[in-house]
Chains A and B, each alone.
Chain A
Amino acid sequence: MANEPRRDVFQAIADPTRRAILLLLVSQGMTPNALAEHFDCSRQAVSRHVNVLHECGLVKQEQSGREIHYYLNKHKMKEVDKWLKPFRKLWESRFNQLDEVLKNIND
């Protein structure tokens, strides 16, 4: 049996190119060609990355005329952030306490 790649959001954001694609889509929808211009790798490679993001629901695609535009699925992005929330809270709490400790250390 072929090794099926996992298609969950966390796998998707683990790749630096895919994270860069998501960042580009934060401000606007983009066509595959416009996206590819931002990367050194081939259009096919960028397109494969976009497909992974699309399959796991992080980007949506919309057809307008003959062109496809990719958009960020903000709802799905929130899911990613929610997952890390307990860990983030633990560290924010620790570091806020550390800020206080640092204020009181004598030179």
Chain B
Amino acid sequence: MINLHETKISQDIPGKKLIVSREFSAPVAKVWRAWTESSLLDQWWAPKPWKAETKSLDFVTGGLWLYCMVGPAGERHWCRVDIISVEPGKQFRSVAVFCDEEGTPTNAAPEMKWFAQFEPSESGTKLIAEISFNTEAEMNAIVQMGFKEGFTMGLGNLDALLA
């Protein structure tokens, strides 16, 4: 069996939405755990060489995930994710913003609204995640805040905004 799954990404510009989909070779129950348990999230959420560190996570409707991205030079960038609704093993909605260590949002940062759906599929699980933005400019900023240099640069810019 081929274990190489393609990450599909499309952009819905009028809807100010990015849609990410991916198959996983594991049953929905496991994929769901990896998305909702902090000890597992911390292992994959940050793209290397960054690391994710959860301060608190309460993955229930009305709950909160407060974590930080730790950079190779020890830089820390905090993020808070408000869990809007949860249907365990099926889907969740959340809102993510950058914040400080106490979870107070920084106004400058774009707000990302998540709608993630998990479905059983032939290879195990299909994930479809919609990430919506308030403005096209914010969506574009996040698209460009990519991997490694882009990612670091984006967060570096955020530092400048917070200073």
Cβ-neighbour of A92 out of B7, B15, B40, B145 (below 8 A):
B7
Q: Bound state CA distance, A100 and B41, in angstroms?
A: 12
Cβ-neighbour of B145 out of A85, A86, A101 (below 8 A):
A86
B36 within 8 A of A: no
A10 within 8 A of B: yes
CB A79 to nearest CB in B, in angstroms, measures 13
Q: Bound state CA distance, A14 and B46, in angstroms?
A: 29
Instruction: Give per-residue flags for B130-160: 1 if the beta carbon is below 8 A from chain A beta carbons, else 0.
Output: 0000000000001111111011000000000
Output the nearest chain A residue to B31 by Cβ-Cβ distance: A102
Please tell me if the beta carbons of A105 and B9 are within 8 angstroms of each other in the complex. no
Please tell me if the beta carbons of A98 and B34 are within 8 angstroms of each other in the complex. yes
Q: Which chain A positions have C-beta within 8 A of B144?
A: 86-87
- Count A/B pairs, Cβ under 8 Å: 88
Q: Which chain B positions have C-beta within 8 A of A105?
A: 26, 30, 33-34, 40
CB A57 to nearest CB in B, in angstroms, measures 17
Q: Bound state CA distance, A105 and B25, in angstroms?
A: 12
B90 within 8 A of A: no
CB B76 to nearest CB in A, in angstroms, measures 19
Q: Bound state CA distance, A10 and B18, in angstroms?
A: 12
Q: How many B residues have CB within 8 A of the partner chain?
A: 35
Output the nearest chain A residue to B149 by Cβ-Cβ distance: A86
A74 within 8 A of B: no
At the interface, is chain A mostly helix, strand, loop or mixed?
Answer: helix
Please tell me if the beta carbons of B7 and A88 are within 8 angstroms of each other in the complex. yes
Cβ-neighbour of B146 out of A11, A85, A95 (below 8 A):
A85
Output the nearest chain A residue to B131 by Cβ-Cβ distance: A87
Output the nearest chain B residue to A16 by Cβ-Cβ distance: B12
CB B52 to nearest CB in A, in angstroms, measures 10
Instruction: Give per-residue flags for B27-63: 1 if the beta carbon is below 8 A from chain A beta carbons, else 0.
Output: 0001101100000100111111000000000000000
Q: Which chain B positions have C-beta within 8 A of A66?
A: none
Which chain B residues numbered 104 to 144 have a C-beta less than 8 Å away from chain A?
A: 142-144
Q: Which chain B positions have C-beta within 8 A of A101?
A: 34, 40, 43-44
Which chain B residues numbered 2 to 23 have a C-beta less than 8 Å away from chain A?
A: 3, 5, 7, 9, 11-15, 18, 20, 22
Q: Bound state CA distance, A99 and B150, in angstroms?
A: 23
> CB within 8 Å of B: which residues of A?
10-11, 13-14, 83-95, 97-103, 105
12 more A-B contacts (CB under 8 A) besides A89-B47, A101-B34? A11-B13, A13-B11, A14-B12, A14-B14, A86-B143, A88-B9, A93-B48, A97-B43, A97-B44, A100-B43, A101-B44, A105-B26
